[in-house]
Amino acid sequence: MGFVEGMILCFIGGWLNSYLYSYHFRKKHKAFLFWFGVLFVGGLIVFDYLIYINIIDAKWFEIIPWISIPTSISASDIGKYWMFTPGAMFGLEIWFDLQITSFNGMGWDLLAFILFVSYIWWFAIGQNLGRFMFGRLTYEKGAWYLLRSTKMVKRATKKLEKKQQRQKTS
């Protein structure tokens, strides 16, 4: 996968994480939220990094009919070409033809590092969207997360309990 596809998958993984947590793992498996995120994003970063440094050869993806890597790209730059070309996995590299034949230099590696770190950010965005859609706590139902903070709800319930205790003692 390229950087764009990796970011999309991280976004979907964050959303899926919130969905599974809110409907299936809320009560007993709270550590799932953390471990799913670490394993999903970490695994995706490792897989994409191995493609970037040519340990996993991107030429192997050419068995899919719509994928073709130009012959003008040197063998040492195939992984970098694959990662930096958006839509290469879906056969859309023709639309985004970068006209770059060499990916040598520290600037490309620095840009790649920044894009790899952004996977975490995209996962967090997807997770927050999932929290918005599905709710974060047991008493939240969907968009409640956006409309009222959890601190306000806790304060309101404490005030209500104090008021009820005062009425009982009076």
Say how many Å lie between the first and final Cα of the chain, rounded: 68
Segment 31-72, tens digit of pLDDT: 777 888 899 999 999 999 999 888 988 888 888 887 777 777
CA separation for the pair 56, 48 (Å, rounded): 9
Q: How many CA atoms are closer than 13 Å to the CA of 161, on its beta-carbon side?
A: 6
| pLDDT greater than 80 at residue 87 | no
> Is residue 141, in this structure, part of any structural domain at all?
no
Q: Which two tokens stand for residue 18?
A: 């919130």
> Is residue 145, in this structure, part of any structural domain at all?
no
Place of tokens 């070309």: 85
> Is residue 146, in this structure, part of any structural domain at all?
no
Q: Phi, psi at residue 139, to the nearest 5°?
A: -90, 0
Query: Which amino acid makes up residue 112?
Result: A
> Is residue 84, in this structure, part of any structural domain at all?
yes
Q: How confident is the model at residue 150 (pLDDT cuts 50, 70, 90)?
A: low
**DSSP-based three-state secondary structure for 117:** helix
Question: What is the number of structural domains in the chain?
Answer: 1
> Is residue 165, in this structure, part of any structural domain at all?
no
Domain that holds residue 103: 3-134
Measured N-to-C along each axis, helices 31-52 and 3-23 cross at an angle, to the nearest 10 degrees, of 170
Q: In this predicted structure, what is the pLDDT of residue 4?
A: 86
Q: How confident is the model at residue 149 (pLDDT cuts 50, 70, 90)?
A: low
> Is residue 156, in this structure, part of any structural domain at all?
no
Q: In this predicted structure, what is the pLDDT of residue 146?
A: 53
Percentage of residues of the chain with pLDDT beyond 70: 77
Segment 3-21, tens digit of pLDDT: 888 999 999 999 888 888 7
Asked if residues 121 and 14 have their Cβ atoms less than 8 Å apart, the reply is: no
> Is residue 22, in this structure, part of any structural domain at all?
yes
Q: How many CB atoms lie within 10 A of CB 51?
A: 22
Segment 96-148, tens digit of pLDDT: 565 665 667 778 889 889 999 999 999 999 988 888 777 766 555 665 555 55
> Is residue 74, in this structure, part of any structural domain at all?
yes
